[in-house]
Amino acid sequence: MKPDVPDARPPVEDPGDLQVKPPKTWAVGFPAVASAMSQIVMKSGLRGTRALLDLNQSGGFDCPSCAWPDPDHHRSIAEFCENGAKAVASEAMGKTIGREFFAAHSVEQLAEQSDAWHDLQGRLTEPMLLEEGVTHYQPVGWDRAFAILAEELRALVSPNEALFYTSGRASNEAAFLYQLFARAYGTNNLPDCSNMCHESSGTALKAAIGVGKGTVTLEDFLEAETILCVGQNPGTNHPRMLTTLAQAVANGAKLVAVNPLKEAGLTGFAHPQEVLGLLGRTSPLASTYLQVRVNGDLALFRGVAKAILSVGAEDVPFLCEHVSGYESYRSQVEGTAWEEIETLSGIARVKIEELAALMVRGERRVITCWAMGLTQHRNAVATIREITNVHLLLGAIGRPGAGLCPVRGHSNVQGDRTVGIWEKMPESFMEALDQQAGIVSPREHGHDTVASILAMHRSEAKVFFALGGNFAQATPDTDFTAAALRNCRLTCHVSTKLNRSHLVHGRRALILPCLGRTDRDHGRFVSCENSMGVVQSSEGRLEPVSTELLSECEIVARMAEAVAGDVGNIRWRWLVEDYDRIRDWIEAVVPGFESYNERVRQPGGFYLPNAAKERRWNTDTGKANFAAGPLDAFTPAPGCLILQTIRSHDQFNTTIYGMNDRYRGIGHARRIVLVNPDDLAERGFKTGDLVDLISVWEDGERVAPRFQAIAYDMPRGSAAAYFPEANALVPVRSTAEGSNTPTSKSISVRITASC
């Protein structure tokens, strides 16, 4: 019997024939190529194959799957990875859904289907409206859709009752126009996926080194002596990064993995573009693997700092010239006991000292990379500050082969922020924007993602507009967020594919279908910024599946025209006719985009300036800042485990491509929970048992039923389940200090037998 779960959550499917094999010890190779090709053939056939040839090539389109950079030179003919291919296969589908599909399926029926089923239905083709009280979406036509938006947005008492969410796939051009519209309309309510993603990195790095971005390029990896990969699973989420890591290791670098789970992509790699790799020859990657306790990284890096200081290996000239706050940091470190460090990190002192020894050897060319394993904890900002502290101690920043590398997720999430998608852009940006646009932007900070959910819940925000993404599933506390969205007068999504956010709707709802990365846009191209600050053009070449599709830029401009009209110097239609004009405006407003139109046409694009990379510190002190604070680590409620929510190998965020997690050895199931074997046995369960997960927080308990337990190698006291199935367990008010990012990697859960 299928238990009912509240209807905003992915439905609970019958437990299938769960397969559990030993996790893999190496990634990519032939199985990855085979999996990529089968997805392409199955989902998008010739269209997908054609698109793959353009993927990440100069003059082609930017891979929609992640933000790892392409080599500046020497791109191979197939500069893609398995999961990039899956993303392309999903977008390039020739299958479509239009009015007949929506006439045949009510919203309620669609909600009963799985996320994987939604993705398989095909591309959206025409604007659809769900009127109040009706059961089915109906075709609406673009003019009427924009008129509805104008009617609803103009009816608000204040522009701050509207929310304009962005997912990180939007191009620089679309994102710039979008924030310009929001500000011309009168609000800074620009929540984005970054609020749930690398916000903690931006917050920490801005305060520490004056720029909220990483400081390394691909070239630095080739010169590095030591590379740390902390809290990330590149084999699945950034597979092209493995090529870079393998090159670095071949050049003599030592790779250190810090992760509670032994992720295959970090232990070994078989190159997919080399014959020997295809035949199964693997290169070992991490020479040291530290299975840190979940949320034990702050303690671990404090230990590294202590070990560096105890042997007097700090970079004194660098510290004298470039930093502020060293003395108080030093005394904080010296006052931290090894015992506390070992308990909280779960790593023995001797191992920490070995890690420090690796980092101080040679010329201390150290790079530290990280992703969601660090950013989604309550003390995420403090943890990233601690990593920065260690780099400052070593002077390992702003010189070749050394620096900090937050590895971004969505392919243009970094660019969106650069061009103004933020609820609290600095005054310098606002002034430049006002000057160029001839408007007066509001200065009151807007809502981020969590604040947006709370505002909708309190009925203080009434129109929710999303440029991409799947807000209802990506956000924490699924039932609470659904209630918030249902409080709205209008919810509107600009999307390529059907997703659950279309089904968790306000009084009225609109779906506005747009062109994707792979689609031809009347000969126009857009641009994106990757994880290392390179801005590149992206141009799709596939014939769009419907003549009704508009580009994201056009949708934003036409909405803006209908809602706000031409104001100040803004002529929406004129701006959007030729994207060069939008780029000219970006150049006028955002520093670093000089000769944007010329340089973006160069093969490989151009680097944005990065002051920290040149050891110029745009901070409050004019120096790089140490941060000193006490140690802590998340302690679950009594009897509970720390649950982290992660991605399987067969998904892109909320888009589910398949039911397997090949590298972790898990097949045919998504509703699973990995648990430390002793913790599982202690609770009287074994692999395959059906359990309910109950999260425990100060405001009460949340239940997610019917997960199959799997005993898995991870530190005592920890568990892991997939996002978005486990999002219902994440309390909306449980967020990181300083960045307000939901704590999706540390949730207290109890496990009970499923009845």
Which residue in the set 197, 246, 394, 456 belongs to the binding site for Mo ion (CB under 5 A)? Answer: 197
Neighbours of 388 (CB within 10 A): 24
Distance CA 501, CA 507 (A): 14
Distance CA 107, CA 94 (A): 23
Residue 644 as a binder of ligand MGD (CB under 6 A): the answer is: yes
Q: Which residues contact 512 (CB under 8 A, 6 or more apart)?
A: 127, 145, 492, 493, 494, 495, 550, 555
3-state secondary structure 189-235: CCCEHHHHCCHHHHHHHHHHHCCCCCCCCHHHHHHCCEEEEECCCHH
Q: Which two tokens stand for residue 294?
A: 């979940």
Residue 666 as a binder of ligand MGD (CB under 6 A): the answer is: no
CB of 409 to Mo ion, least distance (A): 3
Nearest to 434 by CA among 158, 150, 186: 186
Identity of residue 683: R
Nearest to 367 by CA among 257, 259, 216: 216
Q: Looking at beta carbons only, is 373 or 409 nearer to Mo ion?
A: 409
Span from 119-127, 155-163, 195-203, 514-522 in contact with Mo ion (CB under 5 A) = 195-203
Which residue in the set 202, 210, 325, 409 belongs to the binding site for ligand MGD (CB under 6 A)? Answer: 409
Contact present, 561 and 572 (Cβ < 8 Å): yes
Q: Looking at beta carbons only, is 319 or 704 nearer to ligand MGD?
A: 704
Residue 654 as a binder of ligand MGD (CB under 6 A): the answer is: yes
Residue 263 as a binder of ligand MGD (CB under 6 A): the answer is: yes
Which of ligand MGD, Mo ion, none does residue 730 bind (CB under 5 to 8 Å by kind)? ligand MGD
**Size, binding site for ligand MGD by CB under 6 A:** 61
Distance CA 452, CA 724 (A): 19
Span from 139-147, 568-576, 649-657, 701-709 in contact with ligand MGD (CB under 6 A) = 649-657
Q: Looking at beta carbons only, is 318 or 723 nearer to ligand MGD?
A: 723
Residue 372 as a binder of ligand MGD (CB under 6 A): the answer is: yes
Contact present, 176 and 554 (Cβ < 8 Å): no
Residue 499 as a binder of ligand MGD (CB under 6 A): the answer is: yes
Cα dihedral: 712, 717, 720, 725 (round 10): 130
CB of 49 to Mo ion, least distance (A): 28
Identity of residue 204: A
Distance CA 621, CA 623 (A): 5
Q: Looking at beta carbons only, is 116 or 588 nearer to ligand MGD?
A: 116
CB of 232 to Mo ion, least distance (A): 11
Residue 351 as a binder of ligand MGD (CB under 6 A): the answer is: no
Which of Mo ion, ligand MGD, none does residue 201 bind (CB under 5 to 8 Å by kind)? none
Residue 538 as a binder of ligand MGD (CB under 6 A): the answer is: no
Q: Looking at beta carbons only, is 441 or 538 nearer to ligand MGD?
A: 538
CB of 517 to ligand MGD, least distance (A): 6
Q: Looking at beta carbons only, is 148 or 553 nearer to ligand MGD?
A: 553
Which residue in the set 249, 255, 494, 532 belongs to the binding site for ligand MGD (CB under 6 A)? Answer: 494
Distance CA 390, CA 318 (A): 13
| Surface-to-core class of residue 637, CB atoms within 10 Å of its CB (0-12 exposed, 13-18 middle, 19+ buried) | middle
DSSP per residue over 127-171, as a string? -EEE-TT-SS-EE--HHHHHHHHHHHHHTSSSGGGEEEEE-TTS-
Which residue in the set 44, 172, 236, 551 belongs to the binding site for ligand MGD (CB under 6 A)? Answer: 236
Residue 582 as a binder of ligand MGD (CB under 6 A): the answer is: no
Which of ligand MGD, Mo ion, none does residue 383 bind (CB under 5 to 8 Å by kind)? none
Three-state DSSP class for residue 29: helix
Identity of residue 366: V
Site for ligand MGD, residues 54 to 93, rule: CB under 6 A: 65-66, 83
DSSP per residue over 429-491, as a string? HHHHHHHHHT-----S----HHHHHHHHHTTS--EEEEESS-HHHHSSSHHHHHHHHHT-SEE
Contact present, 80 and 517 (Cβ < 8 Å): no
Residue 727 as a binder of ligand MGD (CB under 6 A): the answer is: yes
Which residue in the set 40, 294, 624, 643 belongs to the binding site for ligand MGD (CB under 6 A)? Answer: 294
Nearest to 174 by CA among 467, 570, 538, 547: 467
Distance CA 234, CA 677 (A): 25
CB of 482 to ligand MGD, least distance (A): 15
Q: State how beta strands 254-258 and 19-20 pair.
A: unpaired
Residue 467 as a binder of ligand MGD (CB under 6 A): the answer is: yes
Residue 258 as a binder of ligand MGD (CB under 6 A): the answer is: yes
Q: Site map for ligand MGD, 297-316, x if CB under 6 A?
A: x-------------------
Which of ligand MGD, Mo ion, none does residue 442 bind (CB under 5 to 8 Å by kind)? none
Span from 24-32, 303-311, 566-574, 724-732 in contact with ligand MGD (CB under 6 A) = 724-732
CB of 392 to ligand MGD, least distance (A): 20
Span from 24-32, 372-380, 477-485, 598-606 in contact with ligand MGD (CB under 6 A) = 372-380
CB of 530 to Mo ion, least distance (A): 14
DSSP code, position 744: T
Span from 259-267, 387-395, 610-618, 686-694 in contact with ligand MGD (CB under 6 A) = 259-267
Site for Mo ion, residues 395 to 424, rule: CB under 5 A: 409
Span from 194-202, 362-370, 469-477, 636-644 in contact with Mo ion (CB under 5 A) = 194-202
CB of 118 to ligand MGD, least distance (A): 8
Which of Mo ion, ligand MGD, none does residue 175 bind (CB under 5 to 8 Å by kind)? none
**Size, binding site for Mo ion by CB under 5 A:** 2
Angle among Cα 318, 322, 328 to the nearest 5 degrees reads 95
Three-state DSSP class for residue 87: helix
Q: Looking at beta carbons only, is 97 or 474 nearer to Mo ion?
A: 474
Residue 652 as a binder of ligand MGD (CB under 6 A): the answer is: yes
Nearest to 746 by CA among 406, 380, 279, 274: 380
Q: Looking at beta carbons only, is 224 or 730 nearer to ligand MGD?
A: 730
Residue 197 as a binder of ligand MGD (CB under 6 A): the answer is: yes
Q: Looking at beta carbons only, is 65 or 734 nearer to ligand MGD?
A: 65
CB of 182 to ligand MGD, least distance (A): 16
Q: Which residues contact 179 (CB under 8 A, 6 or more apart)?
A: 164, 190, 419, 420, 421, 425
Q: Which two tokens stand for residue 213?
A: 């971005």
Distance CA 676, CA 750 (A): 14
CB of 562 to ligand MGD, least distance (A): 18
Q: Looking at beta carbons only, is 244 or 644 nearer to ligand MGD?
A: 644
Residue 551 as a binder of ligand MGD (CB under 6 A): the answer is: no
Q: State how beta strands 27-28 and 268-270 pair.
A: parallel
Instruction: Give the residues lining the site for Mo ion (CB under 5 A).
Output: 197, 409
Residues that bind ligand MGD (CB under 6 A): 65-66, 83, 167-169, 193, 196-197, 230-233, 236-238, 258-261, 263, 292, 294-295, 297, 371-373, 376, 409-410, 467-471, 474, 494-497, 499, 514, 516-517, 552, 644-647, 651-655, 723, 726-727, 730, 744-745
